[in-house]
């Protein structure tokens, strides 16, 4: 590389997203990049000329190791939908003028399917205008729903946390005895894809039966059938634990959480904020059966738990960051790095690059055959697929008994409030 590169993070954070950033930084420097810029809050921040020089933050090997162990997007994130070229050409002119001003030869974006839409549009614009800057996507999402890649960095660590937490919840649920039993409902993220919810099955082993029921968003949810199953289970056991996706919907496509007290927040991509499904179902079951219930929403914890990450995941996240830079340095654009599984046992995985047009805005769902006939649990194939991704640990660097993270850029650590849109 002869000039500068810029990297951004976008969409929901993960516990591995900064390992990709570390991979981008190291590889760019090794390949001769002069300055590695980090856009603050993704493309939205770049549009306001908010960026940093990463060498001011990653000065030593220790900084790099801390970054790999720091959850949430170090650079800040955004959910920003870049308008189409024909909708607003001025925004493209502005971005490319900025890239020219900063002498940027490669633009790397770490994100999920919405973020790949940004890479797609920017690389298309560069082709149309003959601009030499290359645009490459680096996969990230706990949801594991990106097309053409075996899995996404961030998923393995979230799956490990979810499997671990589920096991702990099940243990706890058997301690006390209640007259009519206890029903615990655990709500897991993943709007349309059940990869995370299915990972609750990882709790199952010699020392744990695993959850009793698992409901993915891919399969319509029947609340009466759910109640009947819970009631039947309670006649045999004193505690029932059900894992449900935040995105479960009834046969008409209405989110179950919409039947409760859902907030009305909708993001730039038109996604409704999903929350409260477990609380709604716990109330419903308590009302119907009269037993004690508990609702647990794993929420932010499942994507920010850097104290229980998967070593495989963190190292792969770093690897895809490096591969994205290599791809751009070799002259490719409009591509995303994918993980290609070579074998399960021993687990081996490599990287390739694929056309981002075939990935942006697509969603990879859990195959129907990886869920049982009744739609109430995942199959062995599902568990065999996930298990290699949660192996190994990345021990936190502990200071005073608490994991240490890399100090945030001062531009982000200050309590700054962005300009609010007028209603």
- Considering only residues 119-158, where is the footprint of ligand F6P by CB under 6 A? 141-143
Among 5, 10, 11, 405, binds ligand F6P (CB under 6 A): 11
Q: Does 73 bind ligand F6P (CB under 6 A)?
A: no
In the complex with ligand F6P, which residue's Cβ is closer, 12 or 322? 12
Nearer of residues 300 and 348 to ligand F6P, judged by Cβ: 300
- Residue closer to ligand F6P by CB (options 141, 293) is 141
Nearest approach, Cβ of residue 167 and ligand F6P (Å):
21
Is residue 12 near ligand F6P by the rule CB under 6 A? yes
139 or 181: CB nearest ligand F6P: 139
Minimum Å gap between C-beta 196 and ligand F6P is: 7
Q: What are phi and psi of 69, to 5 degrees?
A: -105, 10
Report, in Å, the least distance between residue 115 CB and ligand F6P: 10
* 387-416: contacts with ligand F6P (CB under 6 A): none
**Are the beta carbons of 11 and 139 closer than 8 angstroms?**
no
* Options 80-88, 184-192, 379-387, 394-402: segment touching ligand F6P (CB under 6 A): 184-192
| For ligand F6P, the closer CB: 75 or 189 | 189
Taking CB under 6 A as the rule, does residue 313 contact ligand F6P? no
At its nearest, how many Å lie between ligand F6P and the CB of residue 240? 25
The residues annotated with a catalytic role in the active site are 143
Q: For ligand F6P, which is the closer residue by CB, 73 or 184?
A: 73
Query: Is 303 among the residues that bind ligand F6P (CB under 6 A)?
Result: yes
Does 273 help bind ligand F6P (rule: CB under 6 A)? Answer: yes
350 contact partners, CB below 8 Å, separation of at least 6 = 339, 340, 342
Residues 187-226, interacting with ligand F6P (CB under 6 A): 189-191
- Residue 78 touching ligand F6P (CB under 6 A): no
- Tell me the closest approach of the beta carbon of residue 304 to ligand F6P, in angstroms: 10
Least gap, CB of 12 to ligand F6P (angstroms)? 3
Q: How far apart are CA 275 and CA 244, in angstroms?
A: 11
- Binding-site ranges for ligand F6P (CB under 6 A): 11-12, 112, 141-143, 189-191, 273-274, 303
């Amino acid at each position: 590389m002869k000039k500068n590169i810029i990297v951004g993070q976008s969409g929901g954070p993960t516990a591995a997203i900064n390992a990709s950033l570390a991979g981008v930084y190291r590889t760019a420097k090794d390949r001769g990049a002069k300055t590695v810029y980090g856009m603050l809050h993704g493309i939205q921040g770049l549009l306001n000329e908010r960026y940093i020089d990463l060498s001011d933050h990653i000065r030593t090997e220790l900084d790099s190791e801390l970054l790999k162990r720091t959850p949430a997007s170090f650079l800040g994130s955004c959910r920003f939908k870049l308008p189409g070229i024909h909708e607003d050409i001025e925004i493209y002119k502005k971005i490319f003028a900025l890239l020219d001003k900063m002498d940027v030869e490669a633009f790397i974006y770490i994100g999920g399917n919405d973020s790949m839409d940004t890479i797609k549009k920017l690389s298309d614009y560069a082709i149309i205008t003959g601009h030499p800057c290359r645009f490459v996507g680096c996969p990230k999402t706990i949801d594991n729903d990106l097309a053409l890649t075996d899995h996404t960095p961030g998923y393995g660590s979230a799956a490990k946390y979810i499997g671990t937490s589920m096991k702990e919840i099940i243990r706890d649920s058997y301690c006390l005895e209640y007259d009519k039993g206890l029903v615990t409902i655990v709500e897991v993220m993943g709007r349309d894809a059940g990869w995370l919810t299915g990972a609750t099955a990882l709790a199952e082993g010699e020392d744990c039966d695993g959850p009793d029921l698992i409901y993915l968003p891919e399969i319509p949810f029947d609340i009466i059938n759910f109640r009947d199953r819970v009631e039947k289970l309670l006649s045999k056991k004193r505690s029932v634990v059900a894992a449900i996706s935040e995105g479960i919907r009834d046969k008409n496509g209405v989110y179950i959480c919409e039947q409760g007290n859902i907030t009305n927040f909708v993001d730039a991509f038109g996604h409704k904020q999903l929350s409260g499904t477990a609380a709604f179902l716990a109330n419903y079951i308590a009302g119907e059966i009269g037993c004690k219930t508990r609702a647990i929403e794993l929420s932010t914890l499942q994507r920010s738990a850097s104290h229980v990450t998967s070593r495989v995941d963190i190292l792969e996240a770093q690897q895809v960051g490096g591969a994205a830079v290599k791809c751009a340095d070799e002259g490719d654009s409009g591509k995303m790095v994918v993980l290609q599984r070579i074998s399960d046992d021993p687990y081996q995985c490599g990287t390739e690059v694929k056309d981002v047009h075939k990935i942006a805005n697509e969603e990879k769902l859990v195959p129907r055959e990886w869920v049982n006939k009744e739609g109430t649990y995942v199959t062995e194939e599902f568990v065999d697929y996930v298990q290699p991704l949660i192996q190994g640990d990345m021990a936190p660097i502990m200071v005073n008994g608490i994991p240490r993270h890399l100090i945030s850029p001062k531009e982000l650590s200050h309590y700054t409030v962005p300009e609010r849109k007028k209603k």
